[in-house]
Structure 1
Amino acid sequence: MEVICLEDSAFYALIDKVITHIKERNGKKEDKWISAEEAMKRLQISSKTTLQKYRDEGKIRFSQPDIKPIAYDAESINEFWEKHAKNTF
């Protein structure tokens, strides 16, 4: 039996790619705008303050047509992860 070990970040990146691939094959496109809860889940954070900090610093895109709700751009969250990805040696 062969065992493959991955770092947390590599594992989650692989899962995201698999989910994206499955959605594309099923013809279901990812929503452009997602809720704060979904954004926090994808960013793997539990603090709304951190989410607001990312918004305020321009790290992720958002839309706020009225006072509430705030919607987050799913693609900018993916770009956030890609920007912080480290290449292997």
Structure 2
Amino acid sequence: MEVICLQEDAFYALIDKVVERIQQQQNVREDKWISGIEAMQRLRIQSKTTLQKLRDEGSIRFTQPEKKIILYDTDSIEAYLNRHAKSTF
């Protein structure tokens, strides 16, 4: 068994690099455009009517590449949730 010794600064630098790499890999896997079902899950809503209302009001961005296909922008969903977040006292 081998023991590897690192200085504290080098250890934390290594941890930072690992965390950064994991975050980059997660960002690559995540799609910018998601389906209505995925959008409803992220928004924690169950009604397609509510999702349509958010779309009609311009609260979240969407694209419609074909007549029956509607995709939602993940960034706009996150922005919508952040706009409606309440600060703690």
TM-score, normalised with respect to structure 1: 0.70
More helix by share: 2
What secondary structure sits across from 1:64 in the alignment? strand
Aligned partners of 1:61 and 1:24: how far apart in 2? Answer: 24
Aligned partners of 2:33 and 2:44: how far apart in 1? Answer: 17
Aligned partners of 1:59 and 1:47: how far apart in 2? Answer: 16
Aligned partners of 2:81 and 2:50: how far apart in 1? Answer: 15
CA RMSD of aligned residues (A): 1.9
Aligned partners of 1:34 and 1:88: how far apart in 2? Answer: 31
Report the alpha carbon displacement of residue 24 of structure 1 after superposing the two structures with TM: 1.5
Structure 2 gaps, min length 5: 1-19
Task: Tell me the residue number matched to 2:74.
Answer: 74
Task: Tell me the residue number matched to 1:28.
Answer: 26
Report the alpha carbon displacement of residue 63 of structure 1 after superposing the two structures with TM: 0.3
Q: How many residues align?
A: 68
Deviations for 1:44-87, whole angstroms, at most 9, x for unmatched residues? 01100000000000000000022021000001000001000111
Task: Tell me the residue number matched to 2:37.
Answer: 37
Task: Tell me the residue number matched to 2:3.
Answer: none
Task: Tell me the residue number matched to 1:88.
Answer: 88
